[in-house]
Structure 1
Amino acid sequence: MNDPLMPAAYAVLNTDAVKRNVSVVRRHAPGAKIMAVIKANGYGHGLQRIAEVLADVDAFAVARGDEGIRLRKAGFEQPATVLEGFRNRDELDLFLSYGLDTVVHSFPQLDILESCPETGRLGVWLKVDTGMNRLGFRPADFSHAHQRLRECRVVKGPIRFMTHLANADDKTDVKTLRQIALFNETLAGCPGERSIANSAGILGWKDALTDWVRPGVMLYGISPFPSQTGSQIGLQPVMGLYSQLIAVKPAYPGETVGYSGTWRCPEPTRLGVIAIGYGDGYPRYARNGTPVLVNGRRVPLIGRVSMDMITVDLASQPDAKPGDPVTLWNDELPVEEIAQCADTIPYTLVCGITQRVQIIEREFEPATCES
């Protein structure tokens, strides 16, 4: 793309892929209601944009109250659950004003609810900590917490229950089955809808499929499993990140490239400088050799990633020139692969796209890396 008004670094979103990924959720969990997780600005894809695409799911989930309020102010009326719950009475009042459901996971929250004079206005999920050791009541405290919650006047409708899986991305780890069993044992004889499965639970653990599922990263076409890409498990990537060459120059044996000279030129070669860096969200710790597509062909990253630029070895592309298109990740160069090269997870990459990267909505052309 050679539009002179186009920012050097830009992301292209195939929002139609989100709908296709929802169909994968429905195929794996055909009897479950879907609470689509759109926290962290829709995993970097845009909170309102993703909410619009997912208008036909049963509910949304966000992490914090301000995210839910943003949805309401934007006109979204679907049920929305705040996974971290309310922190104080003032925030609870906002939940009531904006019609947000909440997760209840601590005794201080129960104290606040018991002091609330409102009647039948708050939808709640009671969270059980089955081994994540983050939020939630321990099984030994569940009955007491549940009884107190049932007596809170502000609570409306049946209380629902959830837990969160800690190791579901490892299909060989028996901890997931232990968590599921502990959740079921804790809630034995207790009526109410249940939710266990996150993306990894939906795709890898049939025992985790209950009344509700909570797909997150899979909605964006990213695999929750470290050994697979989204495409390999039937998902379609939503985000592609692109830029262009801004300089091509020679390098000679013994010369180093970039800050701290982490790459030394072994033989005469051509260097390409690309307008992307950690200031745009490209991973600071991507290793030498991390693949980049220039004109649709792989070339290796060389030297340290800086704020605004990266450098690649163009020895295999003698005709490359400034202005040529560059792909940092998309359906042909999986974000999961880039994450591995940076010793991180793909979640951090898509969530880390910064404000100076322009977002464009468009369907990907599957036969080319250009946009």
Structure 2
Amino acid sequence: MTYRPSFAEIDLNVIRNNYQLSCQQAPASKQLAVIKANAYGHGAVQVAKQLEDIAPAFAVAFIDEALALREAGIRSPILIMEGFFRAQELSLASEKGFWLMLHSPEQIEMLEKTPLPSPLNCWLKVDTGMHRLGILPEHVPAILERLTKRGKLAQSPVLATHMANAEEMNNPLNQRQIDRLRQLGKDTNSPLSQANSAALMQLPASHSNWNRPGIMLYGCSPLVQRSEQIGLQPAMSVYSEIIAIRELKKGDAVGYGGCWQARKPSRIATLAIGYGDGYPRSTDSQCEVFLHGQRATVAGSVSMDMLGVDISHIPEARVGDKVELWGNNIPVTELARRVNTLSYELLTRVNQRLPKHFVD
């Protein structure tokens, strides 16, 4: 039981619906549900259980995240997108049935040298232009031949790449990346994976054997207008309560540093939530919350545990009233734009101190 009146509400049915919408964008493909970073702050175990009967596989960033899912009873295939860091993880991956993304010559060498109880399911990351991780395309055929000869692979690896500019429909790098991976797939007769959320939504040429929807599962695609068109809905709403109300005179300041001053007699509510819970400290008076069917602006600097809100135009507001920080009325994408960041960051910053209430 928790007593503090602040929490994140996660609607698991919304995530399920969003996943099904992602499938409709590419019905000829398989959709691997990306649930790294605790399912983008939404609860990886709960999301995996909600999707396990309809998603053919999940993806996480590293083996610790995959192990937590196995310990919670998730039996589906799990792709580890950063692969492995040390050789001892290979036996563990084989034992637990994890799929590994190989992205470097060092990983290839470790895999070749390490005895395994059974061959691994592997994907091969190909650098087609993002220049972050991946094997250069011209080196891929020789690597596939080496791994096949050594009996390290349970089946033909999926060749995967990551789109660097999929949010920009007309960026010329998009087509170059698509063409490079498709040609490599033809040359090696390999299955492919290319589309992330943005590419899945607006670059059909990137759709392949496996797509990797991530942020769109949680209703916060990087393509705001397109999100509305296909029916995505936000799965997370963050709430708090008014714990105090102050009547201010003109010129009175609010919060650390006195950066906000009342231009007229004002009524300020204090909410029991702050940057220690994941709400961004970099907010200003352009950021808004929602209560009594209206928006209200943030007043003063955000503290670790509290923040102020100008409720001068909402006379009915009282201590104990529920306030939405983001959700159906204040989109997290809107708040992210206000503070010059991404919805990805705000969602994943929601930490363990802020309880999660799951709706199923």
Per the normalisation by structure 1, the TM-score is: 0.93
Structural RMSD (CA): 1.6
Q: Which residue of 2 is the match for residue 270 of structure 1?
A: 267
Q: Which of 296, 299, 312 lines up with 1:299 in the alignment?
A: 296
**What is the identity, as a one-letter code, of the residue corresponding to 2:262?**
C
Q: How many residues align?
A: 359
Q: 3-state SS of the aligned residue for 1:284? A: coil
**Deviation at 1:179?**
0.9
Q: Which of 277, 282, 304 lines up with 2:279 in the alignment?
A: 282
Q: Which residue of 2 is the match for residue 366 of structure 1?
A: none
**Deviation at 1:121?**
2.3
Contact 1:116 1:154 in 2 (8 A): no
Moved more, 199-208 or 248-257: 248-257
**Deviation at 1:25?**
1.0
Q: Which of 157, 178, 184 lines up with 2:176 in the alignment?
A: 178
Q: Which residue of 1 is the match for residue 151 of structure 2?
A: 153
Q: Which residue of 1 is the match for residue 59 of structure 2?
A: 61
Q: Which residue of 1 is the match for residue 14 of structure 2?
A: 17
Q: Which of 99, 102, 106 lines up with 2:100 in the alignment?
A: 102
Q: 3-state SS of the aligned residue for 1:70? A: helix
Q: 3-state SS of the aligned residue for 2:277? A: coil
Q: Which residue of 1 is the match for residue 324 of structure 2?
A: 327
Q: Which residue of 2 is the match for residue 350 of structure 1?
A: 347
Q: Which of 191, 197, 213 lines up with 1:193 in the alignment?
A: 191
Cα gap change, 1:322/1:250 in structure 2, threshold over 3 Å: closer, same or farther? same
Any idea what the Cα deviations from partners look like across 1:93-129, whole Å, max 9, x if unmatched?
2111211110011111111111123364200001100
Q: Which residue of 2 is the match for residue 221 of structure 1?
A: 219
Q: How does 1:114-133 map to 2 (within 5 A)?
A: 114-118=112-116, 120-133=118-131
The structure with the largest helix share of the pair is: 2
Q: 3-state SS of the aligned residue for 2:17? A: helix
Contact 1:119 1:153 in 2 (8 A): no
Contact 1:222 1:229 in 2 (8 A): no
Contact 1:96 1:121 in 2 (8 A): yes
2: CA distance between counterparts of 1:232 and 1:255? 45
**Deviation at 1:232?**
5.0
Contact 2:289 2:295 in 1 (8 A): yes
Q: Which residue of 2 is the match for residue 28 of structure 1?
A: 25
What runs of 5+ residues in structure 1 fail to find an aligned partner? 364-371
**Deviation at 1:244?**
0.6
Cα gap change, 1:333/1:57 in structure 2, threshold over 3 Å: closer, same or farther? same
Any idea what the Cα deviations from partners look like across 1:47-69, whole Å, max 9, x if unmatched?
11000011121111010001111
1: CA distance between counterparts of 2:150 and 2:284? 54
Q: 3-state SS of the aligned residue for 2:130? A: coil
2: CA distance between counterparts of 1:229 and 1:27? 14
**Deviation at 1:224?**
2.0
1: CA distance between counterparts of 2:243 and 2:226? 30
**Deviation at 1:6?**
4.1
